[in-house]
Amino acid sequence: MSPISADHQEPARIGTTDVRRLESATRVLREQDYRDGGGACRTALRAQIAHGRRLLRAQAREQVRDRLLVAVADLHNLAGWTAFDTGHPRAARAHYRSALALLEGHRQQDLVANVRYRSSRAHLHRHDPTGALRELEHARAAADRGASARTSAIISVNQAWAHAMRGDRVEALSLLARGEEELAAAGGGAPRPWSAFFDPTDLQAMTGTVHTELAAAGDRMCTRFAIPALTAAVEGYGAGMRRSAAFSLTALALDHVLDGDPVRGARVGVRAVHLAEELTSTRVADRMRPLLRECEQRHHPALVDLAGRLRVLVDRRDSRWARPEDRQARGS
């Protein structure tokens, strides 16, 4: 059986092998999401969730059922993430609620924390740091119960991002430092599949993202810290993390523009556009809006050209996650 196929027959009894197949399917689909964007695997995810729900109705030993609950919850977690990535906020929230319902009272608190973290990203995407911090507080509580240093690090750096949106440089940098320490404490053990993405490269990307946020808010000196961090992240991401590379390239282009280097900013921005065009992700286009606004406010020929490329991409990938002022600016 292919790892992403789903058996439509409802089995009477299941074993560990059935759950392993479901976990394998989730791993394949998660890799596809990172590489190609959420739109590349949403249909397959729906089939796997339906299959997983059927398995929940079958008889199984307690240990098997326990593992199956986590597997199906993680499928919903991934489905929520891909819905978020493709501009379907209601579907994303519904999947996160389903994941949390399956995990209610379950000892797998690390996954609970991950679901809460992913839910917080919708608030960050809408530039709502208060909502993000509220979700991240729930995530922190679950991570503490699950005793996961890696997940704690993920929460810390995203809290840093939220505080950077508020312009709170001191708190943002303090949380970044905390996240770095927590990731170091995680050691070299095998991470959970839902948190394995967060490694030293992703930490560099988040470090650059936080400093970019502070720079865009007016603290232009932060570009000096953002640029080397994002450059390292772009160089560190492999072919399997193309969406993350697109985010880092976009932020890096913005930093170069804010730092007074429009030629380099345009060159990096064009790379970001080319990569974004290969991804089935409206979120990537949404994250390009600050760069687009900066380019449209300047009259350098290279930035005028980049603005035209960005406008085509953003308008083509118009997302329900876009903020009202972005829609107004487009006359929609």
In degrees, to the nearest 5, what angle opens at C-alpha 131 toward C-alphas 136 and 318?
110
Q: Indicate the domain borders of the chain.
A: 15-106, 118-186, 199-318
Listed as own residue / partner, the contacts of 167-172 with beta carbons closer than 8 Å and 24 or more positions apart are 167/214, 167/217, 167/218, 167/219, 169/214, 169/219, 169/222, 172/210, 172/213, 172/214
- Reading the block at residue 240, the tokens are 């399997």
Residue 329's nearest CA partner among 277, 292, 304, 283 is: 292
Q: Residue 332 has what pLDDT?
A: 29
Q: Residue 12 has what pLDDT?
A: 82
Q: Residue 321 has what pLDDT?
A: 53
* Other residues' Cβ atoms within 10 Å of the Cβ of residue 105: 4
Distance CA 277, CA 228 (A): 25
* Other residues' Cβ atoms within 10 Å of the Cβ of residue 62: 7
In degrees, to the nearest 5, what angle opens at C-alpha 22 toward C-alphas 8 and 28?
110
* Consecutive 10-residue averages of pLDDT for the chain (332 residues): 52 91 98 97 96 95 96 98 96 98 94 98 97 98 92 98 97 98 88 95 98 95 98 97 98 97 98 97 96 95 97 83 44 32
Q: Residue 318 has what pLDDT?
A: 72
What percent of the chain stands above pLDDT 70? Answer: 93
For residue 93, give Cα distances in angstroms to 40, 53, 89, 194, 261: 20, 18, 6, 17, 40
In which residue are the tokens 């379950």 written?
Answer: 106
For residue 37, give Cα distances in angstroms to 30, 46, 52: 10, 16, 23
Q: Kindly state the greatest CA–CA separation across the chain.
A: 68
Q: At what angle do helices 242-258 and 223-236 cross, to 10 degrees?
A: 150
Residue 167 buriedness (CB in 10 A; 0-12 / 13-18 / 19+): middle
Distance CA 237, CA 216 (A): 24
Q: Where are the beta strands (DSSP E) in 68-213?
A: none
pLDDT, tens digit, 9 for 90 and up, residues 121-133: 999 999 999 999 9
| Ramachandran region, residue 323 (left: φ > 0; alpha: ψ -120 to 50; beta: rest) | beta
Q: Residue 141 has what pLDDT?
A: 96
- Reading the block at residue 279, the tokens are 């991804």
